[in-house]
Structure 1
């Protein structure tokens, strides 16, 4: 095994440690070494970079190329098209369980590949209707959290509006949502005001916020967003057990009956509403996590990276769902590390930089370049187009 890890330039990995204690990148290389130990000539990699840093992913690509040059073949499954374009020789596109196209990567562009994946042109990926926001439903004033993430953030959110928050990893995007929701202890002096509630001291704890109509979807659906070994119905119902219970008793039949419309609202693909969430694809698991918010009838949705690590087709379905929720008067605050997504679906966009909210401005004031400058330099966009 040591020689195989050396072949992968990973001889520093400690062999005495349990694999579960290794960093994710090293776990990935151990899996490849195991396949090589079995003299594998074909190695299947299923979303190998979904949890890797960019540097770890680059090193993995280098090792894949080296093994390819030695005669090892790879079947590479990924939702990251830039990886497919850079690494692969041939492609196959599947949609709804069927093969829709195959060919040589050198003979197709990214836009055409996306169109084949989702069954629509790239310019139709972000179906964003005109919106007219209503009254303010959430006001955040001078909010700070542990470790200065967030730091003195103020913003407001209106009914029927989609507001996006960008920024680099570690900038405080997730911490902002978690502090608003009550999962992180806020510093004194800030305020989170929800329409219909009276001002009161700001504390951690999401119970009151849930009762007032806030809903939260974590970026980590496997460890926080879902109970993977419970059924789809149970996961969806966890957001509002009071709707299901009668005089303190939960009815499984009632739960399943009420959960189906919530799952179907996001076009979730499942065999039976009673099957385990563990058995679904990543995209459909994410839809179940969001269906829980719809079932709970939350009126303010806090969504942390709602399309992270899922296929393009599922992303489009979630964008359409967000549009419908906004049209029904829901207020949506989401984070995203994908700038085209922010520009495509949001009414206003803000960027976090070292814990601070650099700017919160209408979408028309932003470009991808301006979003990048705000995320890396803390530079707000100009107020008017130049």
Structure 2
């Protein structure tokens, strides 16, 4: 079994907004949702901490996910699954609650925050020595990320989040916020967005280019001189949709030596896939390898592509490729990539080596 670094998981949001006990065995966690009808993903989760360990997922980027949307109307009934809050103060406070959840899991020895490059090296060495088995197994490591910068109430607050351990931020999720325009719309950075990027440069914060609209994407990369990654993004030339990167965008990221994590959401893998209508059988795990191949071909070598599964991003097995029923099934990519001619070193790079190289270079020493 190869160790995996997953570039994008929404662990705390799943726990706090879906009422999921991530410390449970995956099947037990899903059985607890039997009969629930508030979302198609109920009872179909792919991700829990024991399942991550079973799949050799030694580390990940774990997000804080909360949006400020004054115009959004909460759904009737329990609003907990909603990402949207009427003010940035409330979005920020909710993100602090998600961080508190990570800290609680740390106190129980289940997670370990990775703040520095030396910490990353020590954590990875501990997993390599025993691959996470036995009662003395090391915790799963996580680099704290933020999906959408809404919880940063103003640019100057970025330093407070940095001190709490935040290391990677994408400016916006869906639509527009205080800083930029994201998926489903298009437009430039705001003046506050430019100020926030300058604050990121000063701090050493990593910019995640995921979810940026085309106009905001090109402006952000022209404005920001610090390190850039794309935690969970696929290729527009294979699946035409604004959510994906064009080849020109990928080439620009490659020029910055960014790493792009490919994502497992079915509609990002199969052209024309429609949520709630298209069968998951339409797309198989081999489709993810198509996106890995495409980025590798643009780069000329498999040094800038990795896994950013997003497997807990508000969907379950109803919206992932057939043949992948739990996050540990990511190990099936090994045989798929090997059959396509990737050697062992290249597969290791895609599974974890490219993320390790990137974060060793960009995290504080």
Query: Does the pair score TM above 0.5?
Result: no
Name which one, 1 or 2, has greater alpha-carbon Rg. Answer: 1
Q: Which has the higher contact order (CA 8 A, sep 6+)?
A: 2
Instruction: From the two aligned structures, give the one with the greater strand fraction.
Output: 1
